[in-house]
């Protein structure tokens, strides 16, 4: 189940939004469509099964909020929790910022960033969680 996060820099006061992970499937045209939680939003989603997960992340290198695919499966996965188990077993080493190709992507404060997350824009402040919510 995905969570939405909002962070703010302690120095420049810029706000950043991240969210995820979100399940998706691909329709017949190959377009990425949100799957739904805890079950499929549509009959097409149910028939397709979960085909991967995506997230809206913050690139700590270039400062852009980017939408990235965390994992995409070759086979249909039945059920949300089975798909989540597959996601968390894998490594996210292939996930890169589509703008600058950096692997320095940030979703939430539970990520491994000792000493806090330095603001990617001003490089002076650190990011503080303002709020988080589950839709």
Report yes or no: 58 and 98 within 8 Å, Cβ to Cβ: no
Asked whether the whole model's pTM tops 0.85, one would answer no
Name the phi and psi angles at 80, rounded to 5.
-65, -45
Instruction: Render 20-75 in DSSP notation, one character per residue.
Output: EEEEEEE-TT--EEE--SSS-SSHHHHHH-EEEEEEEEEETTT--EEEEEEEEEEE
Q: What is the pLDDT of residues 14-71, one digit of tens each?
A: 999 999 999 999 999 999 999 998 889 999 999 998 999 999 999 999 999 999 999 8
Residues paired with residue 8 on neighbouring β-strands, in sequence order? 15, 128
pLDDT at residue 90 in the model = 46
């Amino acid at each position: 189940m995905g969570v939405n996060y909002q962070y703010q820099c302690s120095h420049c006061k810029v706000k950043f939004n991240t969210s995820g992970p979100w399940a998706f499937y691909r329709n017949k045209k190959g377009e990425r469509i949100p799957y739904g939680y805890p079950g499929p939003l549509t009959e097409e989603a149910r028939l397709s099964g979960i085909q991967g997960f995506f997230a809206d992340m913050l690139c700590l290198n270039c400062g852009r909020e980017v939408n990235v695919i965390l994992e995409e499966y070759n086979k249909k996965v039945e059920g949300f929790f089975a798909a989540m188990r597959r996601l968390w077993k894998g490594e996210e080493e292939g996930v890169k910022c589509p703008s600058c190709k950096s692997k320095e992507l940030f979703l939430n404060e539970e990520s491994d960033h000792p000493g806090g997350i330095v603001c990617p824009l001003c490089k002076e402040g650190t990011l503080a969680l303002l709020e988080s919510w589950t839709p």
